[in-house]
């Protein structure tokens, strides 16, 4: 259903960064979150890539880093922290655990670290 509203969890660091960004500008309801400097349109995917890649280079991360890299890296670290593969499959709209594991760079032969919080 295209009318369905999706919720997203933002950790405290992301929430603070978003609040700081939103407070820097006088946004109207009709504004794009990341507006182009050239016109009143959103930035392009290519511009988002350039911004992320430049930021990565400035902090010493080698290679080409873009939005797709961030997406895959999120999944890798979430899985390593114990997030169920079924949850990641849903986020990525994958049809099988093996598809998601391959996407996030986890070998089928790797045994996942199972974490259970029993502090009830």
Sign (positive or negative) of CA dihedral 53, 55, 57, 60: negative
Pick from 27, 20, 64: nearest CA to 46 = 64
pLDDT of residue 37: 84
pLDDT of residue 54: 95
> How remote is the C-alpha of 37 from its chain's centroid?
24
pLDDT of residue 5: 79
Residues of the chain with pLDDT under 70: 1-3, 111-120
Q: What are phi and psi of 42, to 5 degrees?
A: -70, 160
What's the pLDDT tens digit per position in 42-67? 999 999 999 999 999 999 999 999 98
pLDDT of residue 116: 64
Q: Please indicate, yes or no, whether the overall pTM of this predicted structure exceeds 0.85.
A: no
The tally of CA atoms less than 13 A away on the side-chain side of residue 93 is 0
């Amino acid at each position: 259903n295209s009318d369905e509203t999706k919720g997203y969890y933002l950790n405290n660091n992301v929430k603070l960064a978003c609040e700081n960004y939103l407070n820097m500008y006088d946004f109207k309801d009709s504004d794009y979150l990341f507006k182009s400097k050239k016109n009143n349109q959103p930035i392009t995917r290519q511009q988002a890539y350039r911004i992320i890649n430049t930021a990565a280079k400035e902090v010493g991360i080698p290679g080409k880093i873009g939005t797709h890299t961030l997406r895959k890296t999120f999944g890798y670290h979430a899985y390593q922290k114990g997030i169920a593969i079924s949850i990641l499959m849903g986020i990525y709209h994958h049809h099988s655990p093996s598809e998601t594991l391959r996407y996030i760079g986890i070998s089928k032969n790797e045994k996942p670290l199972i974490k259970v919080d029993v502090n009830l």
